[in-house]
Structure 1
């Protein structure tokens, strides 16, 4: 009898510890087993499997509390850490909470367009996503495939109220009062961004789709991103044409001002702008009083450092990952200088470790975003980067190094 009890207890303990290990994002099994297994699949199928696991609650979680030295303020709100998930991973606003559970301080969903753009209709045909493992790079020509404003709005609304109601029960607070006092992310120290773009049928000069997105999705966003720079669609003229950019940005800010919650308006620009274009963008951003600039989107260029299968390299689409970093970093530095540090910069492009994140901060980025690095290294990379940043700061705080290379 005692023998059976002993073995039963040992079995339960082993299962318990095993479950605790597997559900920890930092566990090596995710980096060395799960992620390589996913990479045996077609890139888009791999993404579908990963997001399905997240929807089913099978993804791991970051169990550690963020160090105070990672805290940073953005748009008057405190973030527990400056590491964000870039737009593109959660296009359909379906795994937002699972991404927050991985430890991201910011999660940006989208891009979302007014009408759905799915594969086989308006979205680009498959295959449209390609890996270059040697360079830790990805080429995509997804074509802004997404479920559209209506579905995205309902998902954002549902997740927000689910979090509010759960918190109000736990804290014995009125749900409506709590809803007015917390971030749309549902966390006191995390932010949710919503990235908005245009349907393929819209003209290059138009900006009405952005205004629709602000009105429909703005109430559920901590910040809104006006995507003017995706290289995989031909009608985003605002990045390269100053006249279109000016009308778009001023109209977007005015539309935001009509919302009760008035979320910050951020523009996402290309890494391929000339110095003259960057000066024009900075001038418009300052005049319109935009709240942030994301540097940068993907690039259609193929840097000389890019290595891998030649046929894949020649695929049409936007390049992301490690080879993009020098371009994105330089754009970050120039935009910080041109805006004189008056507009928060979100650094994005080729970030895969703490050194990369710190480099962007020193170039002027208040926070950073990643995507491709996450794909190659798995869910534990978020905690790994955060821990390594703290170690490399050597007693300093993240906010102490923002713009350090530019201001010194």
Structure 2
């Protein structure tokens, strides 16, 4: 963790009176099993923690549902104020990320998540009839929206944990949704005591978008124990490894070929996800849900590269330092990142793997059979230790 200056708190957020407890509550929008970042936050909050999934927020009764719809409508209209000024602010980053040509793309999903957030705010009111101060840790944007729409009595504390670059994390989104979510995030940041982001490139981007002097803190997704490392001999065909629930936008279709044509075997750990119909995966070895032992055995027997490639249509993908990157570091595995991404810059700068340029897998496979691979592994081990000591900033 690399701390920087905290955001200024609002004047109404006074210190809690002696003897008053903080209601520790974590807001999530996805299943938390296996999510190391969420689990770390739960450990920080302690045993008396309540976890609220904002997806379970349908308002009971017709009258409450109408109130939810009315508030969602107001929030959308507020998000569309000053569109020219805010579009000019965001355009230098987002034009290059190729937003959808259809301005309303993603709006229905935006409305659906806003409905969850408004419904959850009502639930929070019912959960706290005594008006006790909250300690809310909100994971992702709409969880934080739910928190700021709910009652935040004096002495409350809000941590907004942005797992990605929130307002452009989707591959198909138009300007209308971007502007609405920019306004929502701006509102959240006005009431946030601590903002957490995953790397300094995203911190810098958000600083420009919201005129923040600095974000609160950068928390890497470095949650995996480091293992001893050795380099297997080059005799066997090298292996590309993919770990993750995400199966869209990760360029996995580029690996859907026989190993003889690809130059690599492919081993995937999809953590319960199903591949889309456009990807057969029939040439791959599919690993178990609890993959750690299998992964360690594979790295010990084969020269492996972690597939950390993603489409660059989403700015969030382009700037990401994903979990699988840190999983690779933990087992001493070099990384394969897509050209044009922030991760590719890190890989090239520190010499910890190779860059996928679209048609160079054969060349990369040949390089893994040379002494260059041994250099990659040695630099991975050096890099991961320096990162944990705070000597490297990403």
Alignment TM-score, normalising by the size of structure 1: 0.31
Please identify the structure whose Cα radius of gyration is greater.
Answer: 2
